[in-house]
Structure 1
Amino acid sequence: MTTNPTHRFDHRKYRPGPVVDLPNRQWPGRTIQQAPIWASVDLRDGNQALLEPMDVTQKRRFWDLLIRLGFKEIEVGFPAASQPDFDFVRWLIEEDRIPADVTVQVLVQAREDLIRRTFEALVGARQAIVHVYNSTSPVQRDWVFGQDREGIKTIARQGAHWVQQGARDYPETRWTFQYSPESFTATEPDYALEVCEAVLDVWQPTPENPCIINLPATVEVATPNVFADQVEWFSTHVSRRAGVILSVHTHNDRGGAVAAAELALLAGADRVEGTLLGNGERTGNADLLTLAMNLYSQGIDPRLDLSDPDEIIRVCTDCTGLTVHPRHPWVGELVYTAFSGSHQDAIRKCLSRQTDDQPWQVAYLPIDPADLGRDYQAVIRVNSQSGKGGVAFVLERDYGLVLPRWMQTELAPLVQQASERRGGEMDPASIHALFRARFIADDPQWLLGYRLDRNGHDVIEARIGDRSGERILRGEGDGAIAAFVAAWTAWSGKRLRILDYQEHAIGEGTDAEAAAYVQLDVEGARITGAAIDRDTVAASLRAVLSAVNRQGRA
């Protein structure tokens, strides 16, 4: 029996997103002159999109990173809908962890009980943004809420009243109100404006006391230029424009979140919401790191300190469990590596002529990698002249192994030494063999099996074998690895501390294996280990054992 592929992949069931008739659009002739107001939503939008939301320790670590980077507006949660979010907001306020020049933002639906709870969470804050929203698109109106245009507008207007009333109950805080017509990009422009005008009629913003109107591409439904048209049309038609901070919040469903945000700035937006490295629902939010670096590369001060991207990646990876693609714009492992001989030659010639008193103009390198603490690497084949980038490239290309930077640094000299002894190029199989010999140590102790119980706190029971037999180790912690490290520490008496951990799948499908890499501090000594297993947890436990075995041999 044959099937018609069009039954599974039929473009005719889709319709283009709404567009704006804007024949005299101005944004194409403009250039961005300064950085927008940045608003990080990592701790709310980004956090709610994680398979395992951040725990308290991770949230605090992420908060500290955002403060160090220079964010002045940070959305910290949805305290009315989440007790952990409520507790985190209270911790920030009660422990005085909010700098005087930083404003926390919280999200809430246009419901009276939730708005009341939201203000309770913010008691004692010096300043705060209360972000209220409701959905306005036709499908949300008709199919989700069963409301007509007037009914949806009434929800928005009433939500604005409740927010205003809540602020009056706590006059010691400097309040800023924010409203989002959720699904703005799929809403008729005139109606989105009508709903926002109803909110503005309640809040009566002024240039001295402005409010924020946030236009979200809740789902990206068209090309970035269409979004720019929508933003410009709104910006030129909304009343009290001098009292409105126009914000955008773009998503990446079509892969254009950053571009849409950039064009929105040309179209009149003052503020951009997004996340570091683009985490968020579905395909993610606008990547603020990419957007800020885009400005930097054009000679515009991004007003964020992005000089240590490896630290940003480390914190984001540790707190979200999401890895960064090696080709990620500006900060990926391989973006300053040239594999092409002609590229290498051009870069080499340009670097030899580039001086510190000249504007940067090096072929194939849009910025100086040193600005981000990186080095240019040239790799075609791996030999005694190759660096860690080439070794990493070969292992990823031929074996699907994406080594962390710290493991690349340890492996590269071994490959170089082997190449020097051999007197020529190192083939991929030899590099892979060196990797396994160096980092995968299943002797003198190995994992026979484990049992993991997860009920708010991880409890592990691991069977460990050695030449004298086997033993059972038991421990608990936040995650399987932490529980196993606790078990090992209790049994051995040696203090183990996880410095870094990364994992990824090798291949796709149900038969895919998992690779795990761990860097441990064992009694003050830094040691690394790796493992490959079809079971993700087993791979992580075996990686820890590999490191312990290596430390024992040393």
Structure 2
Amino acid sequence: MSTPAGPDRVIIFDTTLRDGEQSPGISLNAGEKLEIAHQLARLGVDVIEAGFPIASPGDFEAVRAIARADLGGSRPTIAALARAQAGDIERAGEAVREAAAEGRGRIHTFISTSDIHIEHQMRNTRADVLEGAKAAVAHARSLVDDVEFSPMDATRADVEFTAQVIQVAIDEGATTINVPDTVGYATPDEYAAFLRRLYEHAPGLRDVVLSVHCHDDLGLAVANSLAGLGAGARQVECAVNGIGERAGNTALEELIMLLATRGDRLGYATGAVTTEIARTSRLVSRLTGYAVQPNKAIVGRNAFSHESGIHQDGVLKDRSTFEIMDPASVGIDDAEQLVLGKHSGRAALKDALARLGHPVDGQELRRAFDAFKVLADRKKTVTAMDLEALVADELEAGEDDDLVLVDYTVEVRDARPPHATVVLESAARGRVTGSFTGDGPVDAVFRALDSALGVDARLRDYRVASVTGGQDALAQASVVLELGTPGSAERWDIPGVTGGERITAAGQGVDTDTLRASAIAYLRALNLGVRRVAGPRPQGDAAVAAP
């Protein structure tokens, strides 16, 4: 990939589909990854890191599908991650081959340069690292013209040794050098100073693109990325909603709007279509099951809301009194104010969904309309946010689910703990029923689901938020659970699963009934967990965390 025109043009490298998917409980299928890739192209990102092809056959197929697709938009470069190992690099090269033929394919290879990783994780020597980096980049360059190299855990490594490895990578043909703050350890001044010293010790660094990849363990990912730009970097690696390993990555929406809003002070530019930010955030949240916190910068539900009387008064007089960005600049506009009722017809629903970026027709429109009518009977008005949640719930979430919630009852009395009974339908097993008591109504429902399915599940996270305001608001429940495979393997006859494994899975549910929304979210997490157990397993240790 050639560097975009202009010395202050910042390349946006999106790793939502790779590092973002490494978040606990997230497991996107090829179709979901492709849908997100299309939206990222509309957003105008320059590079999409589509996955880690060696990790599983499914990830390989997803990367290849994205590399083959006509994404339109900005026609971004498609990158595939590979460890500094021949098998990884071959697999990555094959996955992006079609994009590479058009000059849009990249292999991103990495190896650690910190002594902590060299001694304790890789158990080899600095000499091994040097040779590994040299061989990996040379191999990757024989397959594609665009090669990115990352010295993992660089900010905790010796700067002179890291520079030596980087120079070797450049000599072998690396076109982008990414310097990751893999564990989110650096402070902005430290990070900038480290990058400047790399320029001093690796002369070839001035002839390639310098990239930064910062994690948010100390809440400094965006600040460190900005410091990196100040030190000479012109590519920033980030993820939508800041998702990723542990505390996540540099939040794409925050970085883009920082550069756009403070362009007067900073002087950097991106190719991003900022009005696609809100839609991209909602899509990623919906497909990953990771809810966006209400006070999240740029895309949180409260980001442009005002509760204080003083603030409300100021905004009514002039929005600039308490808003530094126009909500429309990130895609929050009049479409958000769409309201439909139970008398609205199919054409009105189709038009409203199209305006929100969800064109539907045929069978999908019929399903959406049927669900809309049910919802409209329970709510006086159906807003744009309700419609988006409806599309997510009816047209996408749970399409592959084997288990469906048919009915549930919860008995609550002061004299004894709540007791729940659930009835589920499974294509493979017909109807199953489970009953259990719990500490509260939600806990009782979750335990009843476990009882019905014979699983050993531990709830890791549970959140409920209203999609809109009012007493008849839709509730959106989000669940992350840890699932033990022995019970599920026995109950669903999943072959090839050994005892003792535990995996994480996330699910979301939407309903005007909070308990039902919670039950649907929990059941979808169970469905996802079962599919992940039954699906292709990672090869070797390919599932290790990367830069």
TM beyond 0.5: yes
2:32 pairs with 1:89: no
Q: 2:513 aligns with which of 522, 525, 530?
A: 530
Tell me, yes or no, if the aligned pair for 2:12 and 2:237 is still in contact at 8 Å: yes
Tell me, yes or no, if the aligned pair for 1:235 and 1:246 is still in contact at 8 Å: no
After TM superposition, the structure 1 = structure 2 runs for residues 284-433 of structure 1, keeping only pairs within 5 Å, are 284-299=248-263, 301-351=269-319, 362-374=320-332
Secondary structure at the residue paired with 1:337?
Answer: coil
Unmatched runs of 5 consecutive residues or more in structure 2: 1-5, 335-371, 382-397, 410-421, 433-448, 450-473, 481-505, 525-547
Distance 2:188 2:252 in 1: 16
Higher relative contact order (CA 8 A, sep 6+): 2
Going from structure 1 to structure 2, the CA distance change for 1:374 and 1:267 (only over 3 Å counts) comes to same
Letter in 2 for 1:529: T
Alignment match, 1:145: 122
Distance 1:90 1:504 in 2: 30
Tell me, yes or no, if the aligned pair for 2:509 and 2:519 is still in contact at 8 Å: no
Letter in 1 for 2:213: H
Going from structure 1 to structure 2, the CA distance change for 1:77 and 1:39 (only over 3 Å counts) comes to same
Q: 2:12 aligns with which of 15, 23, 38?
A: 38
Going from structure 1 to structure 2, the CA distance change for 1:143 and 1:44 (only over 3 Å counts) comes to same
Unmatched runs of 5 consecutive residues or more in structure 1: 1-31, 168-173, 206-210, 352-361, 377-405, 416-453, 485-499, 507-513, 519-527, 542-554
Alignment match, 2:502: none
2:205 pairs with 1:237: no
Q: CA deviation at 1:465?
A: 7.7
Query: 271-280 or 118-127: which moved more?
Result: 118-127
Q: 1:222 aligns with which of 186, 200, 203?
A: 186
Distance 1:35 1:281 in 2: 28
Q: CA deviation at 1:221?
A: 1.1
Letter in 1 for 2:154: F
Tell me, yes or no, if the aligned pair for 1:44 and 1:77 is still in contact at 8 Å: yes
Q: CA deviation at 1:457?
A: 6.0
Q: CA deviation at 1:47?
A: 1.4
Distance 1:539 1:121 in 2: 34
Secondary structure at the residue paired with 2:53?
Answer: coil
TM-score of the two chains, using structure 1 as the length reference: 0.61
Tell me, yes or no, if the aligned pair for 2:217 and 2:248 is still in contact at 8 Å: yes
Query: 270-279 or 139-148: which moved more?
Result: 139-148
Going from structure 1 to structure 2, the CA distance change for 1:322 and 1:138 (only over 3 Å counts) comes to same
Alpha-carbon displacement from aligned partner over 1:39-66 (angstroms, at most 9, x marks no partner)? 1111111112241310122111101110
After TM superposition, the structure 1 = structure 2 runs for residues 86-125 of structure 1, keeping only pairs within 5 Å, are 86-97=60-71, 101-124=75-98, 125=100
Q: 2:136 aligns with which of 118, 143, 159?
A: 159
Letter in 1 for 2:515: I
RMSD: 3.9
2:113 pairs with 1:136: yes
Aligned length, in residue pairs = 378
Letter in 2 for 1:237: H
Letter in 2 for 1:460: L
Distance 2:203 2:507 in 1: 56
Distance 1:116 1:122 in 2: 10
Distance 2:45 2:518 in 1: 39
TM-score of the two chains, using structure 2 as the length reference: 0.61
Alignment match, 1:511: none
2:157 pairs with 1:180: no
Identity, % of aligned positions = 27
Going from structure 1 to structure 2, the CA distance change for 1:193 and 1:319 (only over 3 Å counts) comes to same
Q: CA deviation at 1:145?
A: 2.2
Tell me, yes or no, if the aligned pair for 1:35 and 1:295 is still in contact at 8 Å: no
Going from structure 1 to structure 2, the CA distance change for 1:295 and 1:534 (only over 3 Å counts) comes to closer
Going from structure 1 to structure 2, the CA distance change for 1:517 and 1:149 (only over 3 Å counts) comes to closer
Tell me, yes or no, if the aligned pair for 1:532 and 1:539 is still in contact at 8 Å: no
Going from structure 1 to structure 2, the CA distance change for 1:371 and 1:111 (only over 3 Å counts) comes to closer
Alignment match, 1:274: 238
Alpha-carbon displacement from aligned partner over 1:349-379 (angstroms, at most 9, x marks no partner)? 444xxxxxxxxxx222111223334479xxx
Distance 1:314 1:36 in 2: 24
Q: 1:191 aligns with which of 154, 161, 173?
A: 161
Secondary structure at the residue paired with 1:289?
Answer: helix
Going from structure 1 to structure 2, the CA distance change for 1:62 and 1:142 (only over 3 Å counts) comes to same
Letter in 1 for 2:211: S
Bigger Rg, structure 1 or 2: 1
Tell me, yes or no, if the aligned pair for 1:232 and 1:264 is still in contact at 8 Å: no
Q: CA deviation at 1:258?
A: 0.5
